[in-house]
Structure 1
Amino acid sequence: MQTNETQGSILIRNAAAIMTGGSGDATDPARVSGPDIRIRGETIEAIGALSPRPGEAIVDATDCVIYPAWVNTHHHLFQSLLKGDRAGLDATLTPWLAATPYRFRALFDEQRFRLAARIGLIELARSGCATVADHNYVYYPDMPFDSSAILFEEAEKLGLRFVLLRGGATQTRQLEADLPTALRPETLDAYIGDIERLAATYHDASPRAMQRVVMAPTTVLYSISPTQMRESAAVARRLGLRLHSHLSETVGYQDSAHDLYRRSPVAFCGEHDWLGSDVWYAHLVKVDADEIAMLAQTGTGVAHCPQSNGRLGSGICPVREMADAGVPVSIGVDGAASNEAADMISEVHMTWLAQRARLGMAATPQFRGGSFEGGAHAASVEDVIHWGTAGGAQITGLDEVGKIAPGYSADIAIYRLDDPRYFGLHDPAIGPVASGGRPSLAALFSAGRQVVRNDEIDGVDLAQLGREARAAVKALLAEVDG
């Protein structure tokens, strides 16, 4: 790929296919023929058969497929140094929390936190992701470094759009009671005070903002009290912030909500002002039909994290049923400590397969009353792209992000299908999702700025980053059980 960079517009030429992120209906097509896209400043200006303008920068996309840059709606970037921890590798959610993230969390100083954030953001960018929503819960009283500032700084260095999901807790589960200072809860006043600071410093409410802040107590069912749920929701809405948390990742959430409140988790959240079109939850694996209806009625969204849900044995979120009911659907990679491949290509590939497998598990033979053979219609490639791009933009309130269409932010991923994994495709457009792997990223544009060229990021030495990561992991392992 050859690029001639000049000031002004950029013409992406001769793409083999363009997927738009649209829903696929008559007014919102899922793909367009192109084959060219013109970027003017930060904006997609035109799509079609376009002629170069004098002095225009040209990006040759011959034999490449183009997607909107992915929008990742749930991550834990600090876990990028905790992949494949043997103590938690075969554990379900609750014992895994104790074995891995809580066991290591107190060892994260400013340097390790920054390195982990950088690794995670680079991994995402090289998968074609330009918008990252990170659910950071590394906060505690008298903390010696500002983890929020580090995340914004590292994303800005890479040219990525960053949404801080400001986690934290004002109360702890018994699991955390005997763990170090780094797991101590904050007071509600301290938590809200920091949210107000972050909102004043970073939050931009515009429809293609590069920085946003979200009220995101780590787990509303466990991390704050019911009264504080209402208080935090009121503060968020006063500040114009959205709301996010974990919910119903396992049956444990159902048991807790039933035992404590005699409600389903979703109903409990609704009674405490934590449902609405400005709210989305990670996981929602274990939800009943009435809960799906409640989510749809209120416009409450989901960040579907299929790889982590599979790795922890939690199950498969009923995304097809949710989407059909009208629940806003997006895709998140969750933390690398329960994922090991925290990139959006791996995640969307798993989304496509898992929804089909989930429906297929419900098939029974005709002699037992069955009516269908399998679940291959549960999710199309176009569905998955829509959820992972425009769906994520809708949930995060970035209304001019997530689509390849005139007037939208120029967040564009150009994939070169030059690995044998993609050879022989009858429809190259489906390759990045259907074939999986990691297609070469010929280019990634974020708000009109090219941040990846031929799989490389300016100023990033991957070999050196790998050495730093190995040294950090070695040191963590030496310290953790000492």
Structure 2
Amino acid sequence: MSSHSLLIKNAHAILTGLPGEAARHAGPDIRVREGVIEAIGALTRQPDEPLIDARDCVVYPAWVNTHHHLFQSLLKAEPLGLNKSLTEWLSATPYRFRAAFDEQTFRLSVRIGLVELLRSGCASVADHNYLYWPGMPFDPSEIVFSEGEALGMRIVLCRGGATQGRAIEQDLPQALRPENVEHYLADIERLVGRYHDPRPASLRRVVMAPTTLLHSAPGPQLREMAGVARRLGIRLHSHLSETVDYLDAARARFGMTPVQYCAEHDWLGDDVWFAHLVKLLPQEITMLGQSRTGIAHCPQSNGRLGSGIADLPALEKAGVPISLGVDGAASNEAADMQSETHAAWLLQRARKGMQAQPRYDGGTFEGGGDAATIEDVVRWGSRGGAQILGLQQSGALQVGMLADIAIYRLDDPRYFGLHDMAVGPVACGGRASLKALMINGRVIVEDDVIPGLDLAQMRHQAMSAVRTLQQRVVG
């Protein structure tokens, strides 16, 4: 037999990330060969074949996180921003601490965020990094990629930034000043040439991602960015319609809705996805669906900032590809994918229930208990995210797909008593411990341990770094 095969044996349940009846597979075994799923079914172990015993475990596709801000991992529960809505929170926390980050604190933030995600069963991370400014003394892009490589994770760098500011540039500190558009585009070219690998098993991708379309660049530059991205064969990403302020700003400044503004500047299509999309008009949903423009749904951050809940069933019905992202830890103090899927499942039901009206004609009150199934959420958080990121061979447990596989033990009391163990990692919340996590067929986490990682040391480093950041801001 091939020395490059591995057998996952005796899984209690398998959720595949696929739609409809294919969402579950009886298994109970999965063979991986050369990093790819070769077979699923009742399989016989080959001589000397490495074995992972998944007895009493549930198996999911590894999560695909389509929107994060890893640098915020050292800004959790920052007091001045803790009880603020989006606009005030931006000023109170990420903008206020922006200049306080140096190479060391940035690297530690990235590492903490990736470890938090990895321990939740996440293989692929789209980091929307916007910590760039003129004359920056370190290369944040290199750090994101190098930290991902050290952990064996798939990194999609969404290169953020701005080429125009919201105030007179001379009044801004250096760390808040916009970049020159020529420099921004040149850096995109540099990153694509150095890191971007479009092959299916690639662990490195680059995306054109000005931070916020309505504010980060003027219209002609947005159109130029879209053209450059498509010439380079990379995708496009940004924030959009997180709050009603987006709609008000677009109408006041441009005389159109935010989605219309995107269409006007070539920022719709099946190579584009936006974070949030909480506040949309019906005609905007139609435009997004017809163009196959995707969403990174971030339910916990949207709840924490009081922004609202995106209407995923309406978006999906219209044809919008759905994925899940955790957003930044500064507006989501549990920036991991298990917490995010749990919130997505609950909040879609809450949203539908809030829309229901009491009936006084003797009929039955219509609740929201059927708004989203566990299988829907798993699909959004795995295959949905992979498709949005262009990872066509990732995100599902299916023969021929890359072996990005999370095996959960469910050995914590919060999972005891489950009648359907398959739904535990999403329905029960918390963090189910990992029997194993595989990325491209390589075992990255085994028995809930990341080899070589000292969590106690990382905790002390984080505590010290928080004090350092606080002192720099006060100083």
* Structure-1-length-normalised TM-score: 0.97
SS at match of 2:132: coil
Q: 1:179–1:7: structure 2 CA closer, same or farther, 3 Å change rule?
A: farther
Q: How does 1:69-80 map to 2 (within 5 A)?
A: 69-80=62-73
Distance in 2 of aligned mates of 1:244 and 1:422? 37
Structure 2: how far apart are the matches of 1:405 and 1:200?
A: 32
Task: Report the AA paired with residue 226 of structure 1.
Answer: G
Does residue 183 (structure 1) correspond to residue 176 (structure 2)? The answer is yes
Structure 2 Cα separation of the partners of residues 207 and 471 of structure 1:
40
Match of 1:63 among 31, 37, 56: 56
Equivalent residue, structure 1, for 2:100: 107
State the Cα distance separating 1:320 from its structure 2 match: 1.3
1:295 is aligned to: 288
Alpha-carbon distance, 1:458 to partner? 0.8
Superposition deviation, residue 209 in structure 1 = 2.0
- The structural deviation recorded for 1:210 is 1.1
- Deviation string, structure 1 residues 99-132 (Cα, Å, up to 9, x no partner): 0000111011000000000000000000000000
Tell me the equivalent position of 1:15: 11
Q: Is the 8 A contact 1:71 1:130 kept in 2?
A: yes
- SS, match of residue 206 in structure 1: coil
Which amino acid counterpart does residue 20 of structure 1 have in structure 2?
Answer: T
| 8 A Cα contact 1:364 1:371, kept in partner | no
Aligned residue in 1 for 2:85: 92
2:257 corresponds to 1:264: yes
- What is residue 387 of structure 1 aligned with on the other side? 380
1:64–1:417 Cα contact (<8 Å) kept: yes
Contact 1:364 1:370 in 2 (8 A): no
Q: Which residue in 1 is equivalent to 2:155?
A: 162
1:313 paired with 2:306, answer yes
Cα separation, partners in 2 of 1:173 and 1:435, compared to 1, 3 Å: same
Q: Residue 43 of structure 2 aligns with which residue?
A: 50
Residue of structure 2 equivalent to 1:408: 401
* Alpha-carbon distance, 1:207 to partner: 2.7
Partner of 1:418: 411
Structure 1 contact 363–371 (Cα < 8 Å) conserved: no
Per the TM alignment, residue 317 of structure 1 is displaced from its structure 2 partner at its CA by: 0.6
Deviation of 1:177 (Å): 7.5
Provide the rounded CA distance (Å) in 1 between the counterparts of 2:193 and 2:364: 56
How much does 1:323 deviate? 1.0
Which of 440, 455, 458 is the matching residue for 2:451? 458
Distance 1:85 1:122, change over 3 A: same
Residue 474 of structure 1: CA displacement?
Answer: 1.1
- 1: CA distance between counterparts of 2:455 and 2:174? 34
Question: What is the aligned partner in structure 2 of residue 199 from structure 1?
Answer: 192
* SS of equivalent residue, structure 1 residue 163: strand
For 2:120 and 2:226, the matched residues in 1 are separated by 34
Q: 2:348 aligns with which of 348, 355, 358?
A: 355
Partner Cα separation in structure 2 for residue 473 and residue 442 of structure 1: 32
Distance 2:227 2:454 in 1: 44
Corresponding letter in the other structure for 1:44 = I
SS in 2 for 1:131: strand
Give the alignment partner of residue 20 of structure 2, picking from 24, 29, 34. Answer: 24
Which consecutive unaligned segments of at least 5 residues does structure 2 have? none
1:235-279 Cα distance to aligned partner (Å, 9 max, x none): 000000100000000111011001011111011100110000000
The alpha-carbon distance between structure 1 residues 325 and 368, as it changes in their structure 2 partners (threshold 3 A), is: farther
Taking the TM superposition and a 5 Å limit, the aligned residue runs for 1:223-262 are 223-262=216-255
The aligned residue for residue 82 of structure 1 is 75
1:470 aligned onto 2:467: no
The amino acid across from 1:393 in the alignment is A
The SS at the match of 1:59 is strand
Distance in 2 (alpha carbons) for counterparts of 1:338 and 1:105? 15
Rounded to whole Å, the distance in 2 between the matches of 1:431 and 1:423 is: 9
- Select 1:149's aligned residue among 137, 142, 150: 142
Does the 8 Å contact 1:98/1:175 carry over to 2? no
Task: Give, in whole Å, the separation in 1 of the partners of 2:170 and 2:36.
Answer: 50
Task: Give identity over the alignment, percent.
Answer: 63
1:442 offset after TM fit, Å?
Answer: 1.2
Instruction: Render the CA deviation track for 1:13-56: whole Å, top value 9, x for unaligned.
Output: 0000000000125xxx0010000000102111110011111111
Residue aligned with 2:408, SS: strand
Structure 2 vs 1, CA of residues 313 and 233 (structure 1 numbering), >3 Å: closer, same or farther?
A: same
Structure 2 residue identity aligned to 1:420: P
Instruction: Identify if the C-alpha distance between structure 1 residues 175 and 314 changes in structure 2 by more than 3 Å, giving closer, same or farther.
Output: farther
Task: Give the Å deviation of 1:208.
Answer: 3.2
Q: How many residues align?
A: 474
Equivalent positions of 1:122-137 (< 5 A) are 122-137=115-130
Structure 2 SS opposite 1:106: helix
User: Residue 229 of structure 1 aligns to which amino acid in structure 2?
Assistant: L
Q: Which residue of 2 aligns with 1:139?
A: 132
